Amino acid sequence: MSFLSGLLRFRSLRSRALVCQEVVELVTDYLEGALSPADHRRFESHLAGCPHCTEYLAQMRETIRLAGRLAPEDLTPAMRTDLTDLYRRWRDEG
Amino acid sequence: MDADASLLRRLRDGEEQAFAALVERYHSPMLRLALSFVSSQAVAEEVVQDTWLAVLRGLDRFEERSSLRTWLFSILVNRARTTGVREARSVPVADAGPVVDASRFGPSGAWVLPPEHWIEEAENRVDAVKLSELLRFGLGGLPARQREVVVLRDVEGMSSAEVCDVLAISEANQRVLLHRGRSRLRQVLESELGGEPR
């Protein structure tokens, strides 16, 4: 767990507003839908008043989007040949 | 029927082309994942080749209780872990501490050095090849466990449940690793592409 989680749970119980340093630790839980309804509301109400955390969240989303566009590296001709050989050896096994 | 299910059927019918298609689709993500567990490219390639052979030999026994992809990656992870242990590769120490440097926040926990802007830069001004290199560099710099999760979730596009199956980790653990990995990757992009905050 994150080092803030203990502190956070304590704070949540007391329903205090989140600060930026806590928000950045909760971004993934937020995106994953893993926050409690109360924390979810606190998270969004912080965002509504904080352009920097809004930007931070947008950057995390962009990071995810860019990672998803990363094309697999091309196979080398040698790898293709090796794997074709492997297939044919297997086929001839049985 | 999804593409993998149809590939599986063709593979079972003994179609070499189906194997070639599967290799094109999964060989390089499997290689990237294998590199998280073992120490060299050569060993990783060996692990992936062993995996392909195990897949072919196991085709008749595969009961399709999971997707073809989950099955492939599970075999890979099992083999890579065994090999990694045999190589006595040191287990990376747990990564603790904040995901954004504490010096960027004031005593109240509010930003004093807010995120620098880079999204526009990434979308409009950096060419695709450079961006890919940057992302690969960022992924390469992640601790192994974080890299495994980010590669499977965000690059490969698996669901969290699928990632938990493949890596045999809990949902909560998966989320922590994902969070730390994504946060670091964001920081790499900011450091390389960022300008002054508006």
Q: How far is B193 from chain A (nearest CA, A)?
A: 12
Q: How far is A10 from chain B (nearest CA, A)?
A: 16
Residue B89 pLDDT more than 60?
A: no
- Six-digit token string for A61: 């989303």
A80 touches chain B (CB under 8 A): yes
Q: Which pLDDT tens digit goes with each residue over B110-135?
A: 999 999 999 998 988 888 889 999 99
Residue type, A77: P
Residue B198 CA to residue B179 CA, distance in Å, equals 26
Q: What pLDDT was estimated at residue B196?
A: 59
Interface contact flag, A66 B189, Cβ < 8 Å? yes
Interface contact flag, B111 A84, Cβ < 8 Å? no
Q: Is residue A27 a contact partner of residue B185, using CB atoms and an 8 Å limit?
A: no
Q: How far is B1 from chain A (nearest CA, A)?
A: 23
Q: Is residue B33 a contact partner of residue B152, using CB atoms and an 8 Å limit?
A: yes
Q: B198 pLDDT band (50/70/90 cuts)?
A: very low
Q: Which residues of B touch A90 (CB under 8 A)?
A: 53, 56-57
Nearest to B21 by CA among B34, B32, B35, B10: B10
pTM, to two decimals:
0.85
Which of the 8 DSSP states describes residue B65?
A: S
Q: Which pLDDT tens digit goes with each residue over A33-58?
A: 999 999 999 999 999 999 999 999 99
List, by residue range, all CATH 1.10.1740.10 domains of chain B.
Answer: 3-86
Residue B2 pLDDT more than 90?
A: no
* CATH number listed for the domain at residues B104-193: 1.10.10.10
Beta strand extents in A1-94 (DSSP E only): none
Residue A25 pLDDT more than 70?
A: yes
* Partners of B111 in beta bridges: B105
* Residue located via tokens 């839908």: A33
Architecture of domain B3-86: Orthogonal Bundle (1.10)
Which domains are delineated in chain A?
A: 5-93 (1.10.10.1320)
Q: What pLDDT was estimated at residue B37?
A: 83
Nearest to B99 by CA among B123, B121, B115: B115
B53, B110, B118: residue with CB nearest A90 = B53
Q: Which of A11-25, B27-41, B57-71, B159-173 has the lowest mean pLDDT?
A: A11-25
